[in-house]
Every structure is written in structure tokens, then in C-alpha cells.
């Protein structure tokens, strides 16, 4: 789960992190009211969407030479005019894809007199199984280019969970950022605060880009991107409250209501599978036979007719889907119950694309009989390879 920049900053402030003052705003009036509460004379009006690259982003509805999604304002009138141009419009950035994202919220914050921009992020490094800090002296808007062109300018500091964060981690981070004197000390403290926040909030990723040093030598967090481990959200009701469903894929929201693990992908073969491992294998084998999965979907161990129907509807709501492959292993669930569920669901949704079903496990013969006698054009498959071949062939035929 992701949150907006202003929400991430509010969470980090509780850990003592130094952040410029700012307020969220949902209308032009609120934006001006927010600015009035700030000292001025420089304000920054920031579009709040779940994507980075806003500064260099473009609004679909505005002329090509219009300013991006992060703008400086030198008085209240400019705050108002920027807010007016952003709210309700669609911001396209390198991270949103062509469709862009509609801006429904703004963050009005203190303008900072920046001396230098740095990059700092924390993530769970899968290779080492540890939390890692990734830092660079080359912060700002193009960290991807830095990583690509000058990877030596990016340093990694990993933290052993057995010892936790130690003062030497802070020193290594401040050293990698080439900071001196008091700014160096501020960076060490900040690293500790961010590590505490990352762990306590069960973050998956926490990115500060840019971290800035202002003209008075103060280190400030100017932008945050935060995402949370969804398996740990039950421990953080306050974080769950920050969820903004308008930023998420509607099909994924629908799936989460039925406890279905659904992720939309780019291909044209819809998959309905039980068990994450089997779902991965199914996607792999579809690719092996020359096609691409339209989604990852794990209906879970205890799939009911209701769940299977919901899953069918979600798969079919994707206009790219040209065929469906159902691959179910009846372990806890029996194959006849699953087959009955598939038939009922296929009838209810008026299935219009080819459907290949591969069942294995308890009561498999009974299950196959139910599919064969259903009167529906369901193609039965004998094993995983057979199923993949058949659905790829069916989709090519259609």
C-alpha cells in the first residue's frame, strides 16, 4: 500500500524527522488558507498523486509549455492560480504511464532555499535479507539516470537485523553523502530516525528524494515516497486509514473485497489459479507457449462459488482478456465443488471467451464429469502443459 507525500511526511514527523511545514488542500480556497498559515514569502504547491516525477510531469489539459506538478509560488494569488490549474487535471509523469493520474489533492508547503539536493532511501534488500540504505550525493529529479550512467555515485549501507541500527551506520551514510560538521551530524540522526520509522511502520520502501541542505546548513526532507508491507497492515490501523482508493486499480480493489490476490498484467490470457506458487507456474508456462498472462490471480485454498464468480467477473472486466485458463489443484477443496463453482460462475457471467480448465486432486473424475455435462464450451485439459497449449491455441483461433 502507498500513501501520499504529505501523509508520509506526517508519519515521519512523529519520529522527529525535520520536515518543512505544510498542509494538505482539496480545493483552491483550502490551498490559499493553507498558505496563509505558512510564513512565506515562498510557497510550493505540490500535486499529490501516488507517483513520482511530478516536477517534470505535464498536465494533459494544459498547454505543453505549462509548468509541472510541483510549482513555486511567490504570493497567495500564485498559490491560487497554481491550485486551480492542478486540481481536477491529469498529471502525466514518467511513473504514471500515458494515462496519467487525476490530481485531487494538493500539498502546500514552505519554500526552501536549497543549497544542495541528496538522495536517500531505505528498502528491504532481498539479496541480503536486510534493510538497506541507498544514498547518493546526486539527489533531485533524475536518480534513475544516476543509477544508470554513474552507478559509482550510489552507495549502499545494509543493517544487520541482529544488531539493529548502530552509530557506525549513521557515520557511513553521512560519509557517503560527503557531509561535514553539523550537517554530517544531522544526517546521522536522520538516518536513525528513518530506520526507526521504517521498522516500526513495517515499510516496504521509504524514499527521500530530494533530501536537501538549505542555505543555512539545515538538512530537510523535501519529498517522500512511502510504501507499506501489506501483510503487516493489520498492525497499523492508522496507516490503513490513509489508503486512497482513487489511486488504486479498481479491479484490484474489487478483488481485495473477496480476499482474492489479483494483480493486473499486460497479456491477454486471464488466469484463475489456487495457490501463489501454482499461479506463478501457470504464468510461466503460458509464456513458454508463446502468450502472456493478463493477470496473476490466486483464489486461495478455500474458494467458494461466490469467490470463483467474483474472480471470473474481475478477469472479464479487463477488456484485454481473450481467453481464460483455470488451473486448480483440489486439495482442501474438492474438484467437484470447484467444477460446480466454475459452471455456475461461467453461466452467471455469460462467458464469451474460450475457457480451458485443468483440474487435479480429490474427486477429479467427478469434477471433469460436471464440466463435460455442463453444456458450456469448456475445454478440459489433462495437465499444466496441455492446458497452456490449449488456451494459447484457442485464443489464436478466436
Catalytic site positions: 119, 207
For helices 305-316 and 335-348, the axis angle rounded to 10 degrees is: 50
Phi, psi of 163 (to 5 degrees): -95, -25
Which are the contacts of 168, defined by CB distance < 8 A and separation ≥ 6?
none
Q: State which of positions 284-343 bind ligand ADP (CB under 6 A).
A: none
CB 109 → ligand ADP: shortest distance, Å? 5
When binding is defined by CB under 5 A, the residue of 2, 136, 186, 209 that contacts Mg ion is 209
Residue 235 annotated as binding site:
no
Q: Which is nearer to ligand ADP, 56 or 396 (CB)?
A: 56
When binding is defined by CB under 6 A, the residue of 10, 20, 175, 317 that contacts ligand ADP is 20
Q: State which of positions 213-272 bind Mg ion (CB under 5 A).
A: 223
> Which of Mg ion, ligand ADP, none binds 364 (CB below 5-8 Å, type-dependent)?
none
Q: State which of positions 90-109 bind ligand ADP (CB under 6 A).
A: 109
CB 144 → ligand ADP: shortest distance, Å? 11
Q: Is the peptide bond before 41 cis (omega within 30 degrees of 0)?
A: yes
Residue 216 annotated as binding site:
no
Q: 3-state secondary structure string, 40-51?
A: CCCEEEEEECCC
Distance CA 224, CA 218 (A): 17
SS3 content of the chain, % helix, strand, coil (to 5): 40, 25, 35
> Which of Mg ion, ligand ADP, none binds 20 (CB below 5-8 Å, type-dependent)?
ligand ADP
Q: Which stretch binds ligand ADP (CB under 6 A): 49-57, 236-244, 276-284, 306-314?
A: 49-57
- Distance between alpha carbon 178 and the CA centroid of its chain, in Å? 32
When binding is defined by CB under 6 A, the residue of 207, 213, 223, 336 that contacts ligand ADP is 223
Contact by Cβ (8 Å): 359, 343: no
**What size, in residues, is the chain?**
398
Q: Which of 116, 111, 72 is nearest to 217 (CA)?
A: 116
> Which of ligand ADP, Mg ion, none binds 53 (CB below 5-8 Å, type-dependent)?
ligand ADP
Q: Measured at CB, which residue is nearest to Mg ion?
A: 223
Bridge partners (DSSP) of residue 116 are 213
Q: Which of 351, 354, 364 is nearest to 387 (CA)?
A: 354
Q: Which is nearer to ligand ADP, 183 or 209 (CB)?
A: 209
Residue 333 annotated as binding site:
yes
Contacts with ligand ADP by CB under 6 A: the residue count is: 20
Residue 126 annotated as binding site:
no
Residue 54 annotated as binding site:
yes
CB 91 → Mg ion: shortest distance, Å? 14
Contact string (CB under 6 A) for ligand ADP, positions 107-146, x = contact:
--xxxx-x--x----------------------xx-----
Backbone conformation region of residue 375, classed left if phi is above 0, alpha if psi is from -120 to 50, else beta: left
Q: Does 55 bind ligand ADP (CB under 6 A)?
A: yes
Contact by Cβ (8 Å): 301, 332: yes
Contact by Cβ (8 Å): 295, 243: no
Q: Which of 252, 48, 199, 55 is nearest to 140 (CA)?
A: 55
Binding-site positions for Mg(2+) read 209, 223
Binding-site positions for ATP read 46, 53-55, 112, 117
Residues forming contacts to Mg ion in the complex (CB under 5 A) are 209, 223
Residues forming contacts to ligand ADP in the complex (CB under 6 A) are 20, 44, 46, 52-55, 70, 109-112, 114, 117, 140-141, 209-210, 222-223
Amino acid at each position: 500500500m502507498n500513501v501520499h507525500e504529505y501523509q508520509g511526511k506526517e508519519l515521519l514527523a512523529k519520529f522527529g524527522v525535520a520536515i518543512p511545514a505544510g498542509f494538505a488542500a482539496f480545493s483552491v480556497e483550502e490551498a490559499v488558507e493553507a498558505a496563509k498559515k505558512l510564513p512565506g514569502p515562498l510557497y510550493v504547491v505540490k500535486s499529490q498523486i501516488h507517483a513520482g516525477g511530478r516536477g517534470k510531469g505535464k498536465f494533459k489539459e494544459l498547454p505543453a509549455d505549462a509548468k509541472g506538478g510541483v510549482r513555486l509560488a511567490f504570493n497567495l494569488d500564485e498559490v491560487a492560480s497554481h491550485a486551480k490549474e492542478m486540481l481536477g487535471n491529469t498529471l502525466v509523469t514518467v511513473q504514471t504511464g500515458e494515462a496519467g493520474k487525476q490530481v485531487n489533492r494538493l500539498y502546500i508547503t514552505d519554500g526552501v532555499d536549497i543549497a544542495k539536493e541528496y538522495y536517500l532511501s531505505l528498502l528491504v534488500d532481498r539479496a541480503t535479507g536486510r534493510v538497506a540504505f541507498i544514498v547518493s550525493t546526486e539527489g533531485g529529479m533524475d536518480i534513475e539516470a544516476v543509477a544508470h550512467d554513474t552507478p559509482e555515485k550510489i552507495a549502499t549501507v545494509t543493517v544487520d537485523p541482529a544488531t539493529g541500527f548502530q552509530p557506525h551506520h549513521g557515520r557511513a551514510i553521512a560519509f557517503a553523502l560527503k557531509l561535514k560538521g553539523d550537517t554530517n551530524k544531522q544526517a546521522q540522526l536522520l538516518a536513525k530516525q528513518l530506520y526507526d520509522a521504517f521498522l516500526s511502520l513495517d515499510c516496504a520502501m521509504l524514499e527521500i528524494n530530494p533530501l536537501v541542505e538549505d542555505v543555512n546548513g539545515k538538512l530537510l526532507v523535501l519529498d517522500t515516497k512511502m510504501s507499506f508491507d501489506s501483510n503487516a497492515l493489520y498492525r497499523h490501523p492508522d496507516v490503513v486509514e490513509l489508503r486512497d482508493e482513487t489511486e488504486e486499480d479498481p479491479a484490484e480493489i474489487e478483488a481485495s473485497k473477496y480476499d482474492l490476490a489479483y494483480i493486473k498484467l499486460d497479456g491477454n490470457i486471464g488466469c484463475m489459479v489456487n495457490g501463489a506458487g501454482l499461479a506463478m507456474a501457470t504464468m510461466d508456462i503460458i509464456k513458454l507457449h508463446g502468450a502472456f498472462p493478463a493477470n496473476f490471480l490466486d483464489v486461495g485454498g478455500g474458494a467458494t462459488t461466490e469467490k470463483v464468480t467474483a474472480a471470473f467477473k474481475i478477469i472479464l472486466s479487463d477488456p484485454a482478456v481473450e481467453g481464460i485458463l483455470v488451473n486448480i489443484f483440489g486439495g482442501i477443496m474438492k474438484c467437484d465443488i470447484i467444477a460446480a463453482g466454475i459452471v455456475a460462475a461461467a453461466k452467471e457471467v455469460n462467458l464469451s471467451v474460450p475457457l480451458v480448465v485443468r483440474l487435479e486432486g480429490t474427486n477429479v473424475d467427478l469434477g471433469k464429469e460436471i464440466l463435460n455435462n455442463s453444456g458450456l464450451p469448456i475445454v478440459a485439459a489433462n495437465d499444466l502443459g496441455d492446458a497452456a497449449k490449449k488456451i494459447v491455441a484457442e485464443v489464436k483461433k478466436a
